[in-house]
Amino acid sequence: MGEGAEGAEQIQAIADEVAAAQAEALTRVSAGADTEALEEIRLHYLGRRGVLGLILRGLGRLPAPLRPEAGGIANAARTAVAAAIGQRTEMLADRERQLRWQAEAIDVTMPGRPVDHGRRHPLWIVLEQIEDIFLSMGYEIAQGPEVEFDYYNFEALNYPPDHPARDMQDSFYINDKVLLRTHTSPVQIRYMQAKAPNLPVRIIAPGRVFRRDDDATHSPMFHQIEGLLVDRQVSLADLKGTLLTFVRRLFGSDTRIRLRPSYFPFTEPSAELDATCPLCHGDGCRTCGHSGWLELLGCGMVHPNVLRNGGYDPEHVSGFAFGMGLERITMVKFGIDDLRLLFQNNLRFLRQLD
Amino acid sequence: MRVPLSWLKEFVPLDCTGDELAAHLTGLGLEVEQVLRPGGAARGLVVGRVVTASRHPDADELWVCEVDVGEKRLTVVTGADNAQAGTWVVAAPPGSRLPDSTELGTRSLRGIDSEGMLCATWELGWPSVARTEAERMAEGLFLLPVAEGLRPGQDALPLLGLDEEVLVLSLTPNYAVHCQSIFGVAREVAALLELSLHQPGLDGSFGTGAGAGLPVAAGPSGAVAGDQFAVDKARPAERWAAVTVEAPDLCPRYVAHIVTGITVGPSPLLIQRRLQACGMRPINNIVDITNYVLLETGQPLHAFDLDNLADRRIIVRRARPDEKIVTLDGVTRTLTDTELVIADGAAAQAVAGVMGGAGSEVGADTSTILLEAAAFDRETVFRTSRRLGIRTEASIRFDKGVDPAGVWTSGLRAATMITRLAGGALAVGCLDVGAAPEPRAIHMRPARLRRLLRPDRLPRGLPADLVGDPVDGPPAGGTDFDPNGGPEPDLSDPAILTYLLRLGFAATRSGAETYRVKVPSYRADVAGEADLAEEVGRLMGYDRLPALLPVGPLVGGARTTRQQGLLTVRRAMAAVGYDEVVTWSFAHPNLAGRLRLPADHDQHRALAVANPMSEDQARLRTTLLGGLLDTAAYNVRHQNEELALFEVGTVYRPGVAELPEEEPRLGILARGRRRRGYWQGAGKERDFFAVKGVLEHVARRLSAQLTAAPIELPFLQPGQAAQLVHADQPVGWLGSLHPDVADGWDLPGGILVAELSLAPILARGQVVPRYKPLPRFPAVQRDVSIIVPADVAVAQITAIVRATAGELLESIALFDVYTGDQVAAGSRSLAFALRYRSAERTLTDAEVDAVHNGVREALARQAGATLR
């Protein structure tokens, strides 16, 4: 039994040694100031040459029957110390991250980095909207030359020669036969001549036009959008519905319209279309001259002579046409009160609107 | 045109205000610009009689007048020379107010207290006919014609028509013939409101309608005009004078009345104030009456002093080449042989339809007049009046055409008015050459009118849910339009005939469903069924038509390749940070010079506008550069100094055809930094390569590829200029703006400009990219760093590399450029990253080394490169 007693003593001695080392280790762990210090502690106690490691390795000198028990004691201590280090490390790492994040905190109210984004010109923004409305109604976009023959600009559009109707549009001439087109209406003739006798003709023709006019509300160069529909059975009532649809898409579904008789040599009957002012919804404001109504565009049924000049027989087909000023609609749309702004290209102005 | 309401009421029994009438007329197509109230704020103006007038003791230019204003006498100081004793004036005593709101008080003028003032014409709020201050001063005080019933202290406002409303009409040319007169407007109003219509009296009566209410019958020297007009039966017109029309094609009708024994003097107040309300200046009773009847009926008239007509003859003929005439405005005019004159036995006495001549003008001692009423060729008057730069109340009516049936009646009306107001007698008969043409007739099918206005195919209007934007909810109905409601207008045959009848058209049935419609003589604008449809529509009111949508095959609308391409360019440019601008198509003639454009540049032969409004607009642009520089300069002046601008616009290239070639181009101008002033630091300064990158990007958006080659252009800084090439064709240029050009626009340095012809690039359209399998084997990267002479272009080096490396080279990228201490002057160091890859296998180092060493040797041999 002497052997047994000696064994118990030896175990006790190891247990004491282990307990002392564990206690010392745990004390140091709980005082460990940062993850670095804890790593040092880990190496000191748990490393290959660490305190507990040496104890474990020393167990080899014990008699074999004692080794399992002594090993159990030492391993339990090892596990306890490792767990304490782990816990402490995690806690410290967490704290260190908090500190780092605190240092990395930003002022979220500071301005974001401006994105490189250019602005479309307000005229083209609105033109695209208008084009899209008519494209969705099955219209094509047609174009014609800006430097045009007098024939297409006036004669083919039923302007009598030497008639005051020509004064409605004072022209810039290049020579006797050629001028800067005063409206987009010549595209009507050019398109019909190319298309006749096929039906339907359904186009809008946006473009640049020129008139000898320069004041607060007129520019010698501006833009129009022409519309033309020719088919077997087209009436003024169809024109009215088409324009109502257009105006409501552009300015909102509460917009109302009215047609007033007017005169254009190339349409008969002719009318002006007024729409309720989208800025004041008809209550009256500066833009609409306190009338609640805005004069928006000219329109009418295509004159029989114009149909004939386009290659169609007015006995069998009829059509409507309309023409609007892009500048005017753009000004209404954005509430711009000075036409000149549209051609000055002041970047401060352009950047407000897109 | 101006329409005094009281005058209108002489012909039609109206019972409405000016604003109400304006709404009616606008609905008929006669747009009313505004309703004037010439009286404005006027209050307390009274009739006064000048009792004494004496020179101001201390001021030669002033008069001191004692003025009888009824219950008392006022002492008034005035500068006008016509305030003589015995004259009747309009006095504004202290406490009264002028039309322009000026309150009168008593104030001292050179030591004499003036109690209020005496009024000049323009101060009475009539539309002034005096154009200059001098003309205003010369007019002096407004003198009331002496008339029965005029008494000092009488309220002057009704007397002066200052309680009047005057409508200002803006007439479209088609309505000019029948509406450019008071009576014409009355005829329209009567048709719309279904009121009776009174014709202007052929007995010379006037001012009898409702609202006249003031002494009108004041003849010269206070004589009251006769109730009847006087006729000289002893000597008929043809014994006084003769009329020959040698150019009947230009003068289809000429009627002359002769009035003898007249006395020229001021015309009655009513006539004076109506002329003034219409913007005309009273002159004397004869001229005023011709103008009065002109305004009333739309028929221009002219009075000649018969004693000043050589041989007492009127010859209507073409002018002789370079024939001279001094017109009423005192200017000598030279005429051409396509123009029409009214001549006497010796010389031209009037430019027909445009202006009378000074030689036969009615003057103070005129006693016999020949009164002309004629129809002249519309186009001839149009051309002559524009060539001479004369627009008169007569010419603006003749150049639109007058009512041929109104020639004789208007002449007779003026002649009888003259005998009433200027004394004398009308020689019996008249000299009448030519005839009114037969009225036009239109073959009308009511069914066709209906088809133009509103087809029968749908019973009701457009369904509400088709009209509104479904996102925004259903459309709001309104009194002006209700898609589903409201009574359908009656467009039956009888309804159509009734509308036409109200407007003076007479219809007779000519077939089962056709009518023959006789057009009134004053409606030259109505020529066909479409015109009749408009007449019906406007009288009915377009607002009564339903709103339908056209019926037809469904067709998808889409932009063409080119239209879509232009839109892609605009969107791509905006997406990379460039602002879109819109500049003028016009250019100044010196633009080519300012831009230092090369001699073969289109701008040197740019299309010239024959009648520009300013030199700035005398040419059409052949480059977008001028407009971009103007825009840049404007913005720099307005403290916008960081610029990234583009324009997609048309240039006009003169060619052999009659019309120029209109070509779409992309113009770019850039300078400065992105995000200047941003707290994290601004972006890099924009330079040549920034703009080149943008151009390459835009080209890629259009599935095109641009290359750049060095070029010299006089407007670009030498050494920083490139020609842009697409499919082996030059399509534009890019570079740093030449400093001398920048100076010309007061622009700072560092400006990049570019211009690209879009047509060749858009031609292909956007190509849909094709998928290629992703690489299955790894790439091997090798860098090569060389020193080469500075004149060896990177493009040359990449070409050598590609040619040598062959198909194993996947890509080559320049990643570093260095010049400086480490590199000899005249050389630069370049570093490229080369990626090698095979589609079939993983490349071995040995394989890559072999190719890469070949590249290195080739660079040394072919580019003179020193390898590092």
Q: If you average pLDDT over residues B578-595, what whole number do you get? A: 95
pLDDT in tens, A138-155: 999 999 999 999 999 999
pLDDT tier, B215 (very low <50, low <70, confident <90, very high otherwise): very low
Q: What is the ipTM of this complex?
A: 0.86
Query: With an 8 Å Cβ cutoff, are B659 and A139 in contact?
Result: no
Q: What is the mean pLDDT of chain B?
A: 88
Tell me the pLDDT band of B126, cut-offs 50, 70 and 90.
low
Question: Are the Cβ atoms of A259 and B542 closer than 8 angstroms?
Answer: yes
Distance from CA of A321 to the nearest CA of B (A): 13
A192 to chain B, closest Cα gap in Å: 17
Q: Give contacts of B 433-462 with A, CB under 8 A.
A: 451-455, 457, 461-462
Contacts of range B455-462, beta carbons closer than 8 Å, 24 or more positions apart: B455/A233, B455/A235, B455/A237, B455/A238, B455/B548, B457/A233, B457/B551, B458/B548, B460/B484, B460/B488, B460/B546, B461/A241, B461/B485, B461/B486, B461/B546, B461/B547, B461/B548, B462/A241, B462/A244, B462/B546, B462/B547, B462/B548, B462/B549
- Give me the phi and psi of B192, to 5 degrees please: -70, -50
Residue B368 has pLDDT above 70, yes or no: yes
Chain B residues with CB-CB distance to A351 below 8 A:
579
At residue B82's C-alpha, the angle toward residues B80 and B83, to 5°, is: 80
Q: Is the pLDDT of residue A249 over 80?
A: yes
Q: pTM score, two decimals? A: 0.84
Indicate yes or no: CB of B634 within 8 angstroms of CB of A136.
Answer: no
Residues of A in contact with B387 (CB under 8 A): none
Please list every residue in chain B whose beta carbon sits closer than 8 Å to the beta carbon of residue A116.
Answer: 576-577, 674, 683
Please state the rounded mean pLDDT for residues A299-321: 96
The size of the A-B interface in CB pairs under 8 A is 288
CB atoms within 10 A of CB A19: 12
Closest residue of B to A176, CA-based? B610
What distance in Å separates the CA atoms of residue B376 and residue B339, rounded to the nearest whole number? Answer: 11
Mutate which: A108, A119, A121, A276, vs B, most B CBs within 10 A: A121
pLDDT of residue B171: 87
Which of B468, B551, B582 is opposite residue A248, by nearest beta carbon? B468
pLDDT at B222: 33
Question: CB contact, 8 Å: B514 with chain A?
Answer: no
Separation between Cα atoms, residue B293 and residue B230, nearest integer Å: 19
Q: Do A343 and B607 touch (CB under 8 A)?
A: no
Task: Determine the pLDDT at residue B801.
Answer: 95
Q: In this complex, which of A135, A161, A342 lies closest to B557 when CB atoms are compared?
A: A135
Check CB contact of B578 with chain A, cutoff 8 Å.
yes
Chain A nearest CA to B17, separation (Å): 18
Cβ contact A138–B573 (<8 Å): no
Residues 6+ apart with CB under 8 A from B386: none
Contact A147 B659 (CB under 8 A): yes
Provide the mean pLDDT of chain A.
90
Q: Does any CB of chain A come closer than 8 Å to the CB of residue B557? A: yes
Strands B313-318 vs B242-245: parallel, antiparallel or unpaired: parallel
Q: In B, which residues are within 8 Å of A148 by CB distance? A: 659
A118, A148, A260 ranked by CB distance to B578: nearest: A118
Q: Which residues contact B73 (CB under 8 A, 6 or more apart)?
A: B51, B66, B67
The proportion of chain B whose per-residue pLDDT surpasses 70, expressed as a percent, equals 93
Q: Is pLDDT of B224 > 80?
A: no
Integer Cα distance of A304 and B160 in angstroms: 50
Report the pLDDT value the prediction gives residue A122, as an integer from 0 to 100.
96
pLDDT for B209? 41
Among the listed ranges A165-179, B476-490, B593-607, which one has the minimum average pLDDT value?
B476-490
Per-residue confidence at B817, pLDDT binned at 50, 70, 90? very high
DSSP B390-401: ---TTHHHHTT-
Name the band, by pLDDT with cuts 50, 70 and 90, for residue B142.
confident
A262:B31 CB<8 A: yes
Euclidean distance between the first and the last CA atom of chain A, given in angstroms as a whole number: 100
Burial label, B318 (beta-carbon count in 10 A; 0-12, 13-18, 19+): buried
Mode of pairing for the β-strands spanning B2-4 and B431-434: unpaired
Per-residue pLDDT at B221: 32
B307-353 tens-digit pLDDT: 999 999 999 999 999 999 999 999 999 999 999 999 999 999 999 99
